[in-house]
Amino acid sequence: MAGLEELKARVAEEVEAQRGRLHQISRVLYENPELGSEEFRSAELLTGELEKDGFQVDRGLLGMPTAFCATFRGRGEGPRIAVIAEYDALPGVGHGCGHNLISAAAVGAGVAASRVICDLYGEVLVVGTPAEEGRGPSGGSKVIMADGEFWDDVDAAVMLHPGTGYSVGNGSLGIWNVKMEFQGQTSHAAASPQKGVNALNAATLAFMATHMLRQEARRDANLVIHGIITEGGLASNIIPDRAVCDFGVRSTDEVYLEEMVEKVARCAEGAALAMGAKVKVTKRKGYSGKKVNEPLIEALWENYASLGVEMKHWRESVSGMPMASTDFGDVSQRIPAASSNIKITEYGTPGHSKQMAEATMTPEGQEAMIVGAKALAMTLVELLADPERLRSVKEYFDDH
């Protein structure tokens, strides 16, 4: 059997040989963006490409029509190592989060690994996870898959995400949604305001009370609270009897996050009491923060570095301030998992923008996709070929 370094070199060559194919996949997705839970053509394109290379494809996972798991087995039973694909687009923007590159790179990494594992025990999985942006019944599909125990049969998972720089091991924020629905009483705003109960005033008071929580927030927990008033009345001459606030509450500390969600809910209850209104508060967990797995992050980082990528040390990325939330966090809470960022455009380009979408099809964006696919493929093979590395990854997960 070939040595590990030879396997890595071979798998990188296999990705390089797919350059034109991966470019075409990413372009088709770019030109035909589909919103979350509606990625029917995208999922069919990706699964069709994987089936061409001998993958066994299971479509419609856990009742999600556009979710899939494509599997390729090596010499025999062994570890199951996954690379994750995302392929939903943003309304009015298209692939402004670069999911067309994520899915093309996942296909490239999976296919490349499948072509060199004939002497290895175990399986390579390409897992299609729809609606990462949270839209529709499959929204946050990785959470649905976690709740459905799908990840429990997977030994480790890796993925990449486009951005403005290369890095490995960046954290993410757990997020909850808090919805406040205030009920008051309509009345003429000038002739008989005293007969009304102003639901908008209650909502405004709750908004300000929530804002005041920030001063006493734990700085080490990376707390973020953001919200909008989605309903506030129908006419200015009517005391509004209904107002609705929608808040997102985020933190890297899962326990502290739940504590802050309760405080935000009490802001609504206190505001309703003060204004004589009624309120219904709905608290819904969104995504978990990422659980760090240092051995897996280090392996992925080393594979990027071996390809000549210049980036900060993975420990610096791990200790940096998380900037967003992702359902990949829920994968990392169930199994060893590590993600990476690839540079497709210059610093300062906003995420979730048409500029970011356009960057996916530039020469820089396409080259970053190839580099990322190589690093992912090398990591897949390493976890299958090096039992010591995989054992350290799993032991770290169990101990932290």
Longest dimension (CA), the chain: 88
HSE toward the beta carbon, residue 70, CA cutoff 13 A: 29
Query: For the chain, how far is it from start to end, CA to CA, in angstroms?
Result: 34
Report which of 68, 14, 130 is spatially closest to residue 373, judged by C-alpha positions. Answer: 14
Output the six-digit token pair for 121.
């025990």
Contacts for 167 with CB less than 8 Å, ≥ 6 apart:
311, 312, 314, 317, 340, 341
Contacts for 321 with CB less than 8 Å, ≥ 6 apart:
171, 222
Task: Report H helices in 123-282.
Answer: 141-147, 199-212, 254-275
Averaged pLDDT, 227-247: 97
Could you confirm whether domain 174-285 is CATH 3.30.530.20?
A: no
Taking only the tens place, the pLDDT of each residue in 253-275 is 999 999 999 999 999 999 999 99
pLDDT score for 323: 84
Report the percentage of the chain scoring pLDDT > 90: 97
Q: Where is average pLDDT lowest: 68-72, 91-95, 212-216?
A: 212-216
Could you confirm whether domain 4-172+288-399 is CATH 3.80.10.10?
A: no
Taking only the tens place, the pLDDT of each residue in 133-177 is 999 999 999 999 999 999 999 999 999 999 999 999 999 999 999
pLDDT score for 2: 72
Q: Where are the domains of the chain?
A: 4-172+288-399, 174-285
Phi/psi at 165 (5° precision)? -170, 160
